[in-house]
Amino acid sequence: MTSLDATVPPLEELLGSAHVVSLKLFDRFRGLDNREALLLEGPEGWTEFSPFGEYDDAEAANWLRAAIDFGWQPTPHALRTSIAVNATVPAVPAHKVAEVLARFPGCRTAKVKVASPDQTLADDVARVAEVRRVLGPEGRIRIDANGLWNVDEAEHAIHALSAFDLEYVEQPCMTVPELAEIRHRTAYLSVPIAADESVRKSGDPLAVARAGAADILVIKAQPLGGIRAALSIIGQTGLPVVVSSALDTSVGLSMGAHLAASVPGLYFDCGLGTASLLADDVTREPLLPVNGAVPVRRVVPDAALLTQHAASPERRDWWLARLARTHALVAGA
């Protein structure tokens, strides 16, 4: 995008509809107890800009491109009207697993967070074992380490957890060479390796596919610059994908659902049921899983909920300043 590109609305237009919210989570997730997001209304509907607080402006720019794409451009043709989704189990104690899974009615797949720095492999094993007990033998379990293991730790952990019939292991290590190495070392276990951070946080999101370092790609609309940018990456890699969220509000999840609806081949349940992790949301009709799926539809925030969950003035000012800086990068790119 350039400053002359009509698809980049003026900053004043964005600021005119901006709402900053802070939503409580049922359980701590990624070290967060609340999820903050900035919502915008464009001619095509409501959209979301919610890069995590630790991301710098350069990384946040793709998130704004995604927000503009979804709010100011028509969505691609949808190939399906609902998306099968997985349950997401944070790094909770094993005794809380059943309570978490109950928030995802009908979901046949669970993604389980592992490798939390304040926990042990024994904690991970206990959590995954309990997920297997609750789901039964026909349920699908995938684990996500967020790149927090080194190669040796990953090999040890995957060996220990493979006893629970894993669908795949998401981002066991952080770098592409490490992913390639762990994929080679654990090939005898027949547990596929999925890449997330190596796609969405990379200056070259295709590198992991070229290196043969993953069997599956986890694709998220916001970090990759929007639906069209994500579809381009999917088309170039030739690998199967899982469309997932970044702990979005239901507005952001709607963007993800529209992306998933546009993917020609969708062979895995998607990580778009995460509204169930939010104790609060911006709509009275959140995109919660029903019979294991979420609908593909636009979400309109409720004015009263935007007011009820408004972030503090200090946090609102922080987000609006971030929006202005990021807009300057996107408009001048």
Report the alpha-carbon distance of residue 5 to residue 20 in Å, rounded: 26
Q: Indicate the SS3 state at residue 159.
A: helix
In the annotated binding site for Mg(2+), the residues are 144, 170, 196
User: 24, 96, 113, 201: which one is catalytic?
Assistant: 113
**Is 220 tagged catalytic?**
yes
User: 24, 96, 201, 220: which one is catalytic?
Assistant: 220
Q: Where are the alpha helices (DSSP H) in the chain?
A: 11-17, 57-72, 97-101, 121-135, 151-161, 176-185, 197-200, 207-210, 227-237, 250-262, 303-308, 313-332
Burial of 259 (0-12, 13-18, 19+ CB in 10 A): buried
In the annotated binding site, the residues are 144, 170, 196
Strands (E) across 32-108 are located at 32-42, 45-49, 82-84, 87-89
**Is 113 tagged catalytic?**
yes
Report the alpha-carbon distance of residue 267 to residue 254 in Å, rounded: 20
Structure tokens at 67: 């927000």
Residues 6 or more apart in contact with residue 74 via CB below 8 angstroms: 44
Report the alpha-carbon distance of residue 78 to residue 80 in Å, rounded: 6
In degrees, rounded to 5, the angle at the alpha carbon of residue 13 between the alpha carbons of residues 10 and 15 is 110
* SS3 of 222-273: CCCCCHHHHHHHHHHHCCCEEEECCCCCHHHHHHHHHHHHHCCCCCCCEECC
Residues 6 or more apart in contact with residue 114 via CB below 8 angstroms: 91, 124, 127, 128, 143, 144, 145, 157, 161
User: Please, what's the largest Cα pairwise distance for the chain?
Assistant: 57
Active site residues: 113, 220
